[in-house]
Amino acid sequence: MISDIWCELYEKLTITLKDQFDILVEETKKYFLESANQIGITILAYLLFCITFYYVIAYLKGGSDYGHIKNMKRVLFVTAHPDDECMFFGPAILKLSQRSDCELFLLCLSTGFRNKYNQGSLRKNELWDSCDILGIPEGNITVCQNSLLPDDPAVHWKESVIADIILHHMESLMIDTIITFDKFGVSRHANHSSIFYATAYLCMEKKLPENSKAYALDSINILRKYSSLFDVPISYLLSSYWYIITLKQARIIQKAMKAHKTQYAWFRKLFIIFSRYVVINTLKEIEIVDLELDLLLNE
């Protein structure tokens, strides 16, 4: 008799517990679905916002001077390897080459010569082809073949050697603006950073020709780096100078990249599709105060 009552009670208890559990599962499911829905809608809205923003800036405002560095007439881009110019500096080069008030020059510090098959001259030709597409004529390009700057893992590029080369070029070409990598060099390639440090050295020592300025290309985190035009709003908010191009112009950069035949490997094809450096470049002036602060923080 007593055991019967217990049995009944036990059954009831398990049933209510089971019900409770089912309700909990149901509620949780609903909650997750709703959240997923909301997140999905938010992401979609953000992507749409990015596309609209990009469209307005690149297509409607594209012709204006907004974001352009004022007062530059003779501009020198300094890169480390042939193909840096279109992998990283494409939008700036393309935009500036279309201006009548800017004359462009490129200094590439190595031929990217890496093996015994004498790829050096091959890559130089590729660089000329690529720049021809981007709008810098062969006569405005210098490729260094300095034995002090070998493309060799065992050799550290001396900043003082680079600084001398840059200074020499700025003086002989009467350059008023140089544009190069920042200290992270976009891809953290040590050669890119060495150019920044050489330039920073020239700034700190006040060795840059009078009235000339130096600008560095912003490096960004990997997520932003590969989000193509979806990075445009953030870039725009965070920087003072920018060059944004239309998708049609971005195809010119892709074409220029193809001119680097020996380098056109699958990962570069992917890069050129997803990279934000194919639609937008943001720049920051290299200033002594910032450099000093940096030194202080690193001490």
Ligand X SMILES: *[C@@H]1O[C@H](CO)[C@@H](O)[C@H](O)[C@H]1NC(C)=O
In the complex, the residues that contact ligand X under the rule CB under 6 A are 97, 103-104, 135-137, 140, 151-153, 156-157, 190-191, 194
Determine whether 2 is exposed, middle or buried from the number of CB atoms within 10 Å of its CB (0-12, 13-18, 19+). Answer: exposed
Cβ nearer to ligand X, comparing 102 with 234: 102
**Contact status, residue 91 vs residue 277, Cβ threshold 8 Å:** yes
Residue closer to ligand X, measured from CB, 157 or 230 = 157
Inter-residue contact 162 to 195 (CB < 8 Å):
yes
CB of 177 to ligand X, least distance (A): 12
Cα separation, 62 vs 82, in Å, equals 28
| Min CB(260)–ligand X separation in Å | 15
* Cβ proximity of 257 and 114 under 8 Å: no
Rank residues 34 and 152 by Cβ distance to ligand X and give the closer one: 152
Minimum distance from residue 34 beta carbon to ligand X (Å): 51
Closer to ligand X at the Cβ: 197 or 230? 197
Q: How far apart are CA 34 and CA 40, in angstroms?
A: 10
Closer Cβ to ligand X, 191 or 282, answer by number? 191
Distance CA 168, CA 296 (A): 30
Residues facing 103 on adjacent strands: 74
Q: Is-contact 151 113, C-beta < 8 A?
A: yes
Q: Which residue has the tokens 């074409």?
A: 255
Nearest approach, Cβ of residue 141 and ligand X (Å): 9
**DSSP for residue 122:** H
Please check whether residue 155 is in contact with residue 190, taking contact to mean a CB–CB distance below 8 angstroms. no
Least distance to ligand X, CB of residue 145, Å: 14
Q: Which is nearer to ligand X, 111 or 228 (CB)?
A: 111
Residue nearest to ligand X according to CB distances in the complex = 190
Shorter beta-carbon distance to ligand X: residue 93 or 257: 93
| CB 101 to ligand X: min, Å | 10
Measured from the CB atom, the residue of 176 and 231 that comes closer to ligand X is 176
- CB 215, CB 57: distance < 8 Å: no
How do 103-108 and 141-143 pair as beta strands? Answer: parallel
- The DSSP result for 27-65, as a single string, is HHHHHHHHHHHHHHHHHHHHHHHHHHHHHIIIIISTTS-
Q: At closest approach, how far in Å is the CB of 136 from ligand X?
A: 6
CB of 273 to ligand X, least distance (A): 24
d(CA 92, CA 77): 10
